[in-house]
Structure 1
Amino acid sequence: MADEDFELDTADLERRMQGAMGSLRTEFASLRTGRASATMLEPVVVEAYGQQTPINQLGTVNVPEPRMVTINVWDKSLVSAVEKAIMNSGLGINPQTNGTIIMLPIPELNEERRRELGRVAAQYAEHARVAIRNVRRDGMDQIKKAKDQVSEDDQKFWETEVQELTDRYIKSVDEALETKQAEIMQV
């Protein structure tokens, strides 16, 4: 296969592509599909104690019923900051405060909102594809830099390996997007 001098670290490239897929899954989990879920608040961060802090580190997040998420904020002085972060998050939810408890009623999704969430999901998928292509570019750059150490046949072999890995992960992104969009459009 390849000379002893050059060995492309495909495991590192694959790990980085898996990271892009993991990030995509997290972003998809944050898209609400008409059901309440504690994970929908994961990307929301609050300015607290001089730094950006995830909501789940500022209070207890519960899902007491299918269309309601509650946050029991531990520090009463942070209730308004948490409320503001939720309103500015783009989730389309209006928080209701009762002391230190913030209630998030999940409204029924209308057709227009479902299409909008589908477009957001497509944007998240495109970001993942770009991240995967960037990893591919890094792998190809490593192969080009090792041009002196690698025969032309071996160079082609490594380029094919990197491309097949990229194609596999791009296909995974496309499948995940298709699944998420079907879930969003489900009434």
Structure 2
Amino acid sequence: MLVSSQTDLEFVGQAGNGVEGIAMAATALPDVILMDIRMPVMDGIESTREILAAAARRGGPQPRIIVLTTFDLDEAAMRAIRGGASGFLLKDADPEFLLAAIRTVHAGTSVIAASATRELFENFDTHVATVVPEVFEKLTSREKDIFVLAARGLSNSEIATAEFLSEATVKTHISRVLGKLGLRDRVQLVVFAYENGLTD
């Protein structure tokens, strides 16, 4: 009802479990999926992986997946992000925030439940690497600075202020960083940073 009430959004399907979700995604080809973490038959983590893998095999655009969870610090949400989800929200999120999140991920940006970025990655074992990956050295000094600020959860405007740059320039740098590191979005950037000890 919430989605259908918006003139720019269209509700295309609903599934009762992860297996049904995979089938629905294959036929309805949604742009954005709201995925419950805990479902019968197959959970949202495995379903997320399967949906994205199927989309990759088809060669078409991949749906953006927002994971819905009950707990602010949920290890399952972390695993879903590693599996390719574009972020996570709490199930009690304000309706307007949920709608904004759908539009945000459709536009190519990621979302994480407010104030949870640092806590999410610091409270779980991420097997932090002790050696900086070679691919990271492909970044310029400026790109490394912007990478660290983005990994800490700063917005483009906040990075622009901190680095005395325009937002457009920051956006360009972020795109280059993602491209060089082979990352899809800012959520994957945060995971990459924490797993490789690159947040300091």
Above 0.5 in TM-score?
A: no
Judging by fraction of residues, say which structure has more strand: 1
What TM-score, normalized by structure 2, do the two folds share? 0.22
**Structure number with higher relative contact order (C-alpha < 8 Å, ≥ 6 residues apart):** 1
State which structure, 1 or 2, has the greater radius of gyration over its C-alpha atoms: 1
What TM-score, normalized by structure 1, do the two folds share? 0.23
Judging by fraction of residues, say which structure has more helix: 1
